[in-house]
């Protein structure tokens, strides 16, 4: 499933092509995605897309009448194509633009979403989300307040979207290794100083992934539109059994919250 950096790079990729364009039509071939596509999404017709923004893993196509919400799910992708490009299997939504191009949404597993929010209100899917990890609201004081008394493993804790959004499995593994915190340690028992380091490392790891994706970003007119995972120099994720890059101890693997977790039993405590 695409994580926050991949979704942010998708935003960067489509934004220059859709911002300022008028929506001339929206074609929904299959409304049965993760949630049914609401008929109200037709309100986007005739509207100018003012901005493409992101909240957690949701992309928002903002107009004066409201905003469309797009989630890539597990297999969704977005491409900019000529408006007359014939659809292929799994091409579920086309957003036709005044430029003569369209934004096409493809999703083989149909676990993504297209939703609509009229006016300036907040859609329910966005209502209970925690702060953005790269925003000013994600601080050590905030994290310590949320962690107080919690016996949940710190890895599960930082992957909870009600605590902080967008810290998926890859980036949770990497951030905890960088901060030297054992992923099974209870969230409420991590010291203030170590939580401060964890906040810094989460910001660093995610910002680096976005930067790396941005520098290698393909034109979404020519690329396949799949954000994928960037060719990062991952320290631990996917490297169980290999030597720790710090101490050469063989990296351990465990399941935490049914997610694969790789860590160094010597460096992380």
Give the pLDDT confidence of 111-126 residue by residue, as tens digits.
Answer: 999 999 998 789 999 9
Give the pLDDT confidence of 159-181 residue by residue, as tens digits.
Answer: 999 999 999 999 999 999 999 99
Catalytic residue, candidates 3, 6, 62, 174: 3
Q: What DSSP string describes 199-227?
A: HHHHHHHHHHHHHHHHHTPPPTTTS----
Domain with CATH 1.10.8.50 in the chain: 140-263
57 an active-site residue?
yes
Longest dimension (CA), the chain: 60
55 an active-site residue?
no
- C-beta separation of 14 from 52 below 8 A: yes
For the full predicted model, state whether its pTM sits above 0.85. yes
- Residue 109 vs residues 9, 77, 112, 214: alpha-carbon distances, Å: 21, 11, 8, 26
Q: Is 17 annotated as a binding residue?
A: no
Q: Using the 8-state DSSP alphabet, how is residue 88 labeled?
A: -
Neighbours of 184 (CB within 10 A): 15
CATH of 4-126, one of 3.40.50.1240, 3.40.1260.10, 3.20.190.10, 3.30.1330.40: 3.20.190.10
Q: What DSSP string describes 123-156?
A: -GGGTT----TTSTT--HHHHHHHHTT--SBHHH
CATH of 140-263, one of 2.60.200.20, 1.10.3210.10, 3.40.50.1220, 1.10.8.50: 1.10.8.50
Give the pLDDT confidence of 206-263 residue by residue, as tens digits.
Answer: 998 888 775 555 566 655 666 555 556 789 999 999 999 999 999 999 999 999 999 9
Residue 30 in tokens: 């299959």
Q: Is 150 annotated as a binding residue?
A: yes
Domain with CATH 3.20.190.10 in the chain: 4-126
194 an active-site residue?
no
Catalytic residue, candidates 57, 104, 146, 155: 57
Query: Rounded to an integer, what distance in angstroms lies between the CA atom of residue 108 and that of residue 85?
Result: 18
3 an active-site residue?
yes
Q: Is 182 annotated as a binding residue?
A: no
* Alpha helical stretches, state H, 19-62: none
Catalytic residue, candidates 45, 110, 203, 259: 259
Q: Which of 220, 162, 201, 176 is nearest to 9 (CA)?
A: 220
């Amino acid at each position: 499933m695409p994580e926050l950096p991949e979704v942010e790079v998708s935003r960067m990729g489509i934004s220059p092509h859709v911002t300022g364009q008028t929506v001339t039509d929206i074609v929904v071939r299959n409304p049965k995605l993760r949630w049914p596509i609401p008929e109200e999404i037709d309100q986007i017709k005739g509207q100018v897309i003012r901005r493409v923004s992101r909240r957690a893993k949701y992309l928002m196509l903002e107009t004066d009448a409201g905003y469309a919400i797009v989630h890539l799910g597990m297999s969704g992708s977005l491409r900019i194509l000529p408006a007359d490009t014939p659809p292929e299997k799994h091409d579920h939504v086309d957003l036709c633009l005044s430029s003569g191009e369209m934004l096409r949404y493809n999703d083989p597993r149909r676990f993504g979403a297209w939703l609509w929010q009229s006016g300036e209100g907040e859609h329910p899917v966005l209502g209970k989300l925690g702060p953005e990890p790269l925003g000013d609201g994600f601080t050590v004081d905030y994290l310590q307040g949320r962690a107080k008394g919690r016996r949940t493993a710190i890895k599960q804790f930082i992957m909870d979207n009600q605590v902080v959004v967008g810290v998926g499995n890859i980036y949770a593994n990497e951030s905890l290794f960088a901060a030297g915190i054992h992923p099974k340690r209870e969230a409420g028992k991590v010291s203030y100083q170590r939580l401060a380091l964890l906040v810094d490392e989460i910001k660093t790891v995610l910002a680096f992934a976005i930067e790396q994706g941005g520098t290698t970003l393909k034109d979404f007119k020519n690329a396949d539109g799949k954000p994928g995972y960037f060719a990062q120099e991952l320290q631990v994720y996917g490297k169980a059994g290999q030597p720790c890059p710090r101490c050469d101890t063989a990296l351990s693997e465990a399941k935490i919250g049914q997610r694969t977790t790789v860590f160094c039993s010597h460096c992380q405590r």
